């Protein structure tokens, strides 16, 4: 299997081309090799509803007999927006399929590989399984837990502050770091923030879908955030507000004078929002910690020294260190002079 590592890395690279465009489908890349190991064709699932990666790569070849197909996710064996990839793989005469991970979707989950094996195709894998799972971590959670994947993005000083006591916060990090945030946002179906952030900063948050937690409906529709995109405003269910062309108002229960986050997330999953990036203040960040799968923490080489400054997870209160939410470091990246630490839930 080691000889297919480079090809699997290429599949992952191809899959990433479509980040932000395939949800609720996964990110998938495919490479087809001839009998001598030379790449004949490549493909990726470029957009939801369009060809899957295997079909994209195979459509470029007149003859794929005795070739090896490498793909980061088990080929599908059911009818969705497109026909099953397994049928085309068998029809084209592929000799060997190398896969990165099994599909967590119960409609596939091992059935695709079994169908190929029953047709006499050699199955090799998993190859780079950890990397393939990480690539489609949102898709995995959607199908195993039936919940949206939640990430938080925050930017802090070395001592964990996102703003001074008076609210001053622009800019903690450099333009290089802020440009990387645009790339991160594009990976997620929607951005979520609070009414407090909207009122304090009047951010535009340019994104196709935005979520605002506004318990008492305090935000004015003239704020920048309402000017673009598909917007979902969650509020206390005792209130009501008519929907507009691009804004949907959704009432949910309140728990201890806060919107019940679990109810919010369940509603969003029902709507079809599979991944969410939280960009808010410390209070909302802290409240979301029990539900978070990933944290992007940009750290600037600055120390505020302000013990009354605003902390990045101020909304989380514990009495014992054993109550901490535990995370593991996935990656670290440098956007000089800042550093990005990416954590996943332990």
How do residues 138-164 score in pLDDT, each as one tens digit? 999 999 999 999 999 999 999 888 877
- Which three-class secondary structure state does DSSP give residue 217? coil
Return all residues near 286 (Cβ < 8 A) that are at least 6 apart.
Answer: 313, 314, 315, 316, 317
Judging by beta carbons within 10 Å of its beta carbon (0-12, 13-18, 19+), is residue 81 exposed, middle or buried?
exposed
Residue 6 has pLDDT above 90, yes or no: yes
Judging by beta carbons within 10 Å of its beta carbon (0-12, 13-18, 19+), is residue 118 exposed, middle or buried?
exposed
Give the helix ranges, DSSP H, for the chain. 5-16, 53-58, 85-91, 111-118, 129-135, 137-145, 175-186, 195-201, 261-271, 282-288
Mean pLDDT for the chain?
92
Q: Give the containing element (helix H, strand E) for 316.
A: none
SS3 letters for 220-262? CCCCHHHHCCEEEEEEECCCCCCCCCCEEEEEECEECCEECHH
Fold category of 142-345 in CATH:
Dihydrofolate Reductase, subunit A (3.40.430)
State the pLDDT at residue 101: 97
Q: How would residue 57 be classed by pLDDT, with cut points 50, 70 and 90?
A: very high
Residue 26 has pLDDT above 90, yes or no: yes
State the pLDDT at residue 163: 72
Residue 167 has pLDDT above 70, yes or no: no
Q: Tell me which of 70 and 166 has the higher pLDDT.
A: 70
Q: Tell me which of 215 and 305 has the higher pLDDT.
A: 215
Numbers of helices and strands, H then E, in the chain: 10, 18
Fold category of 2-136 in CATH:
Cytidine Deaminase; domain 2 (3.40.140)
Residue 252 has pLDDT above 70, yes or no: yes
State the pLDDT at residue 60: 93
Residue 80 has pLDDT above 80, yes or no: no
State the pLDDT at residue 201: 87
Residue 330 has pLDDT above 80, yes or no: yes
Q: Is 77 left (phi over 0), alpha (psi -120 to 50) or beta?
A: alpha
* Residue keyed to tokens 């802090």: 156
Instruction: List the chain domain ranges.
Output: 2-136, 142-345
State the pLDDT at residue 169: 63
State the pLDDT at residue 319: 82
Residue 165 has pLDDT above 80, yes or no: no
Dihedral sign computed on CA atoms, order 299, 300, 301, 303: negative
Tell me if residue 54 is catalytic. yes
How do residues 278-312 score in pLDDT, each as one tens digit? 999 888 999 999 999 999 999 999 888 777 677 88
Q: How far apart are the first and last CA of the chain?
A: 29
State the pLDDT at residue 25: 95
Q: Which of 7, 50, 54, 230 is catalytic?
A: 54
């Amino acid at each position: 299997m080691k000889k297919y590592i480079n090809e699997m890395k290429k599949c992952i690279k191809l899959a990433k081309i479509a980040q932000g465009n395939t949800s609720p489908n996964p990110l998938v890349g495919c490479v087809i090799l001839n009998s001598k190991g030379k790449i004949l064709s490549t493909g990726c699932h470029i957009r939801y509803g369009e060809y899957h990666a295997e079909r994209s790569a195979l459509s470029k070849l007149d003859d794929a007999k005795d070739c090896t197909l490498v793909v980061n996710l088990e080929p599908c064996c059911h009818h969705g927006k497109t026909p099953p990839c397994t049928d085309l793989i068998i029809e084209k005469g592929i000799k060997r399929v190398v896969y990165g991970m099994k599909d967590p979707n119960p409609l596939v989950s091992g059935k695709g590989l079994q169908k190929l094996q029953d047709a006499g195709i050699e199955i090799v894998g998993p190859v780079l399984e950890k990397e393939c799972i990480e690539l489609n971590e949102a898709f995995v959670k959607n199908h195993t837990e039936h919940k949206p994947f939640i990430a938080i993005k925050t930017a802090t000083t070395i001592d964990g502050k996102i703003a001074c006591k008076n609210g001053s916060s622009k800019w903690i990090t450099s333009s290089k770091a802020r440009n990387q945030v645009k790339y991160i946002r594009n990976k997620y179906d929607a951005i979520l923030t609070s009414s407090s952030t909207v009122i304090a900063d009047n951010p535009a948050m340019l994104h196709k879908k935005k979520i605002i937690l506004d318990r008492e409906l305090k935000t004015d529709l003239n704020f920048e955030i309402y000017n673009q995109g598909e917007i979902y405003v969650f509020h206390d269910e005792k209130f009501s507000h008519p929907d507009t062309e691009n804004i949907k108002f959704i009432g949910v229960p309140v728990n201890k004078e806060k919107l019940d986050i679990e109810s919010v997330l369940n509603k969003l999953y029902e709507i079809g929002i599979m991944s969410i990036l939280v960009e808010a203040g410390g209070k909302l960040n802290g409240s979301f910690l029990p539900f978070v799968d990933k944290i992007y923490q940009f750290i600037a080489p600055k120390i505020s020294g302000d013990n009354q400054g605003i902390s990045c997870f101020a909304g989380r209160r514990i009495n014992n260190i054993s109550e901490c939410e535990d995370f593991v470091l996935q990656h670290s990246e440098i956007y000089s002079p800042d550093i990005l630490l990416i954590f996943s839930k332990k």
